Amino acid sequence: MTDVTRWWAAVELGARGRAAAARTELNALDADPGTAPAVRSLAHSTRGSLTRQAGGHAVARAADGAACALVATAVRDGGLAGRGWTSAPWTAAAWADGLIGLAADALGIGDFRAADTLLGRTESFLDSLADDPAADWRTLARVRLRAAWVRTEWALYSGRIAAAHAQTGRLQSAAAAVPSQRHRLKTTLILAAVAAASDKTGDAVALAEDSRRRAAAQGALPLLWAAESMLMSLPPYPQDIASDVRRLRDELALRGMPFAPLRPGERHGR
């Protein structure tokens, strides 16, 4: 099994809400001296994402910063033409992933200026790279979509609704470039948030319901929780939705993804 295959297996575990199992694999990957620096960087970014999904944006900055540090020299020196898994697309993806993670962390703690700066740096970097149709979609196509997600979220959270709406075409185009149904599902969920912020409640409910159905079918518990939480904020929501949200929250906590802020007496898993 290659180091990229091991990293992606951990990503898939996290996508199903199995955060503790994902972190175990990521820790082993990071500790393995045979793991390429770009993949070690991706492992740190994934660890940061798992922490951020549970509300730990401030804590996630350490993992995302480490992700950037692992490939910073290669990016600075233009060393993006290596071999194997450290070849240009993987190293570039690792660098962009780290920056996107830091931007999302800043967004989560309300530092909109830092998030905007980091996103601008990411976008300039990605724009400087030529598209390679033969490249693995998990490299540049994936990170371009992630950058579009966070840029749209930045516009929403900072109250720039028109800017968020203007991003929808970019979101849909970037999502069409990846084969992952899970990535397309998350894109739909973000489009639902844009519709809700634009007072298009009917569209928002329809998109969130579609996301809920697809997340359940895929076993993507974190996205299912997000879809149901969104539906709970959109009138009229199904009567059973609040209990479903609590059940999913508890299930995710058992799987290693406890949410912040915690209830009295709860503790984060180590």
Provide the pLDDT for residue 133.
82
| Cα–Cα distance for residue pair 241/223, rounded to 1 Å | 14
pLDDT for res 85: 37
Q: What is the pLDDT of residues 156-176, one digit of tens each?
A: 999 999 999 999 999 999 999
Is pLDDT above 60 for 84? no
DSSP H helices in the chain: 3-15, 19-31, 37-53, 57-76, 88-108, 112-127, 140-157, 161-166, 168-176, 181-197, 201-218, 221-232, 241-254
Does position 253 have pLDDT exceeding 60, yes or no? yes
Mean pLDDT of the chain: 91
In whole angstroms, give the CA distance from residue 261 to residue 186. Answer: 23
